[in-house]
Amino acid sequence: MDYQKIIEAVYAEVKSWENKGQIAQYIPELSNVNPRQLGVHVSTLDGYDVGMGDHHTKFSIQSIAKVLSLTLAYRLRGNELWKRVGVEPSGTPFNSLVQLEHDQGIPRNPMINAGAIVICDILVSHFRNPKKELLAFVREVAQNPDIAFNESVAQSELSVGYRNTALINLMKAFGNIDNDIELVLDLYCYMCSLEMTCQELSRAFLFLANDGIDPITQHQVLSLTRSKRVNAIMQTCGFYDEAGEFSFRVGLPGKSGVGGGIVAVHPEHFSIAVWSPRLNKKGNSYRGMKFLEQFTTQTGLSVF
């Protein structure tokens, strides 16, 4: 497969189209990003590594980090995790209070805000310094010691996190939050502020394309069964209430973030990260979705 040729062709095509959508406005710091940027990077299991455009530019990965925090919590707690968070698609906005009330404080899945907050609560319970441990884990899977939180983005999110505060208080009322609310929200906002490039993201997610094993270091990040289940959650829940559309058009497990990033994996083949800051009405990168649809069409590679 000539990934370089395909990426160049798809990149040129998508770049020529109208750049629709809006950058995230509700987090003040994200509204300062240049909306014209577009980057893509592919990492394969056999060591092929290629990118185009702004693939070396760092950006706030936002909800993409939910996959990494889930992986860490899953390693620590195993199947006990699923007593506190479900695995079903939500079908509602990622910060829905109505659904959480209906489900008596048990989030539908770990990819929506409430679910990721529960995961953060688990990490706060387990670690004395959960931010340090989470960052160390991300650096480990990305094989890059320079990955860091963006302090300005984290503080920006904390300053306007009224909806997340409502979610965590509701879950606390139902007995599904064990720790101090401020500690958990602090970890959640710093987690979302993680800055990475497309290259770093595609590298970090390679273990999910390889049965839970880092193909370069041969380290077992997750067991085969747990890796399969994380991929399944990404496939069904990774794109807010547009997960079905992504499966229909792209056909890969993946996760998006309101920073404009998308990462997707093809088990036994590759990991790919795309970044373009303008979002569609569902909160997913407009050009990122278009790029991945064209990419899987041109390569003929999807899980279906």
Residues assigned a catalytic role: 63, 66, 188, 240, 258
CA distance 138 to 150: 14
Taking alpha carbons only, the member of 90, 85, 67, 77 closest to residue 212 is: 67
As a three-state string, the secondary structure of the chain is CCHHHHHHHHHHHHHHCCCCCECCCCCHHHHHCCCCCCEEEEEECCCCEEEEECCCCCEECHHHHHHHHHHHHHHHHHHHHHHCCCCCCCCCCCCCHHHHHHCCCCCCCCCCHHHHHHHHHHHHHHCCCHHHHHHHHHHHHHCCCCCEECHHHHHHHHHCCHHHHHHHHHHHHCCCCCCCHHHHHHHHHHHHCEEECHHHHHHHCHHHHCCCECCCCCCECCCHHHHHHHHHHHHHHCCHHHHHHHHHHCCCCEEECCCCEEEEEECCCEEEEEECCCECCCCCEHHHHHHHHHHHHHHCCCCC
The owner of tokens 């036994």 is 268
- Nearest residue to 238 (alpha-carbon basis) of 262, 204, 217, 214: 262
In one letter, which amino acid is 12?
A: A
